[in-house]
Structure 1
């Protein structure tokens, strides 16, 4: 306790110190109560020992008194004999008395009566003496036995004491070094406590004499700090509301971001997402002193330090953080710039470099152009800068953090301005959007009377709403079996029309009209899985999202259609975006149908080069063989599809290169990556150039 309190002299305003002091105040009463209880128990042990010693002394005194009385006890008193022996002794005594009386009364002139009385008296006397001897012997033996038992018990008691005290002596002899050590620590604690008291008194006197007009907290920028926080301290922040109020907050620079906390235990609020996009400058045109401003492309933040020294320290820290971020990420940024501005053997006939990924404002503009995307999907905060790529929605910074906490099986968060966006992923975002998803996940919100969060609401309220919306799916409308059945039939018919109107899809038998097996008509999971199945083939992302919201399994197997999955049906539908959507929602890229063919097999057979490229990037097993022992490469060679053969062989070579380089190798050869990005871009933007389909014939030699 003294060690914590002594920190006041260093920086008593730090939030961590205030929280530690608060926790100490809460725990101090409990600790004091336990300490007092332990002292009472110790005193009780001492009192019990004293009582034991007193009782032991009384016991020894009783033994001494008994021993003194035993030395004087030489005569055995008759009244101590046993009851049965005494009765026999009394009877024989009475018989002897009667014989004596009869003998005295015998007349002289009757000789025969005299002889008879004499004989009776003689026999009675003889019997009396035998009885007396037996009685006395019995009493002596009993008395001797009692004395021996007492002596034996006393001797056992003394030996037990001897053993107890001997063992106690041995145990405490072993503890003697520890007792000496504890005694030394006790003396040192007393000395330290006295010293702490003197030091605190000295600090009190120093504080009274010290001038606090220039008492600035020492701040240093340390990029290698153990906790990842390069710098932290208190600053005043000007609010962005109409009143322009100033609030004191605890700011820190960490992970190349400027964040602040209202309370120490609150989650940090991000002021600047990436300091590399910012600049910092002095502000002399405001009424307050020691102000500076951090300016980003989208907003600015005005802050005030406690002194000019601290202002300079913060400005230097922000500048150092910007420089450090550019130095650490310069190589990566150079590599990305080089990849996005050059093309290694473009597959486009024009031969000009083409953009293969979108980043920053380009992706932001395209996604925000979708209706409803200009505000956060969950709280309505304008100008969102984050997205959930498996849901297809835009989010503000606070809601994106909550979505991350849900786990990637519910939401995968990506930045609209800082991350790189593949064309197929960008199209996925554009085909869904906040309006479509909210129609699904908030269909019953008003009916249930649930309030949608607003910008500025407490985080815990927003978090509770998001969990109810996406995890519990509380606001999703549950359709009836008849509605789902009609939806499935409509999607299957829509897929037939798409197949018949497509010039690039190979001829295949029309899909069977979905038939529900007996007993399954009321099963929502079965119907939802069937909806996802046909929606994937019909290339309808809103219907697929609705099916997942109803609980459809993304890897659902249609046992009535050759055990095909929604991902295989997405391949049949020929849509790259549909495949991307299923993969983002954890579809298994290697799940096979009844013929042993996975999505890569089907994409190869249909000549869908973009899908082949997508599946290879997602780790599809190109060595898997179907029931005809055909691998995707064998099928591509038989169909004479040069593009897919090239992709499969490049992927195989890249895999072998990674295995040769060891387990810590990177993603592979850069040329391989460039070629795959060219195929992906062309499949998304110019699919006609890749639709060089040739019917696959299994019987072809």
Structure 2
């Protein structure tokens, strides 16, 4: 101001204007706001009494505020930098502690000790940081007031000319000085109190153990906010590198969600907790891991400690139980429609939701009309809408979730309304049912004194019952310890005649119809005996194969024998005859022999009982040319029994002692429906038997035009996939190539031809 004396008037007015602006910024504090407003008005009138004020302004206003900024604020900024650095160190310690492998105790101990020290340091600096913030906020108030009051005293002392003007402010200034002293005293008292608390907390932190440093592991299912539990978890990514990222997880509204940062959009991991299960994982490298499994995916998570892992597992389980108690099944129908994935093999490829729902209701009505299927097989809940396709029972949504947690080797769960159903699978469900299967799996339930759960029973009771029933198999009728069960024995069959169907020879009209639409079929047959590596995926597109399969009747055994089938007669098995077996003493049979006999006689309940009692589904009878139950089902002519065995893990490519797989036998006997089913399930049509014949060669020898066409179309589909896939990739069928269009026309013409003849 001295050096710029000529510009003093302008500068002083700007200063007064700044004081008034500060008054507007401090409207929240009436003391500061009133002070600045009154002093600003007085300074506006004293703008000409300037010369004596310059030195005091330099010492009282500028220097004091300068010290406040350079010392107090700088100290605050340094504390903040230290706080940020220690916070980053704690994040790194958390990551190192989570990455410590369980089989290296020294690394675990080192990581745990580092995490403890980092947490304690973080808490100390956090307290220092909070102290600096509070002290700075308190000091700001009296620093401003003290500076302005000192400046106004200088005005009063050095400007005698303005005494009359300032005399009006004298009482107010005295009052303000008194209030300022009290503010200083109050600030000092508050500072001492905060320092005392800080010292007490510091002392307690030194005496506490590591368990106190852990975050709280608590959850509340009935929380008013709807958040059952929340906190940080490590999540394993689904990419190829399986990286782990730390995310903020929460359980709310019967969903498991997470977010990267506080204000990020929530990402839903599990859309409906009722359809998932949770279990701890001890078979991976990282510690404290647990897995949340839903119908469509699984999510691997890691907590910071064992205590937190148990809390999260219990929180998810409690949320599942709460969702079942509070929400009826109808509340989830819309959500299930969005989340349920269609079957990998679908009879209907249409995506129209209305058409799918109509078909779903038709499937539901057909299956629920079976005896015992009006209520859940395990708890009695009315109107079950889920099914275990390998067990043949209907389930409610809660029991279906428990079945899904058992694994597909024990129970394969599918929805009656949301999934599409193949005709053979639908027929299988109608052949079995809850009454039949419960008669097997609950045969001695009352004798053991076990009480079957009801629809209102807790989930824990239902889960224990289902595991005892299907995994432990505690309620099966105990077979007698007869010598006959000690080892498999050769069992004899009493043959009886049945009516024959007239063999269908390919007509001339059929040959005329097939030749123009299959220009490359002849070329395919010449290369049919070449041994090539078999690819396990299905040879047909699901939609096309299901359309083709829907034509064939489930009881394909009604078709008459082809010539050349006498080769089966040599082993005592004529295709023109069905064998009636005496099942009076089936309980004395070895389970494997019982499975063979039941598969041959189309006795699904007996076959289910044999599998329940431990029969190996792929057991080969060495006294009967190494035939498996699946081969016996082919010889018996039942496509439904074949489907049941395949659903329970039967190997579609297992061969007998003559090198023949089920596809060979089905081709030899002219079972078109079974051939279609085996191709759909990945049967190897290039396999050669001991006579160096593959199924196509057998079909040509038997002059079976239906099976020849079917096998050639399958080979055409396989060759298209190999030819049209990108280099190095055996991918699926390409978009709409000319070869594929020709293949589709062949399929359609083949189906229409059989429909016209039938």
Give the TM-score, by structure 1 length: 0.49
Higher relative contact order (CA 8 A, sep 6+): 2
Give the TM-score, by structure 2 length: 0.46
| Structure exhibiting the larger radius of gyration computed from Cα positions | 1
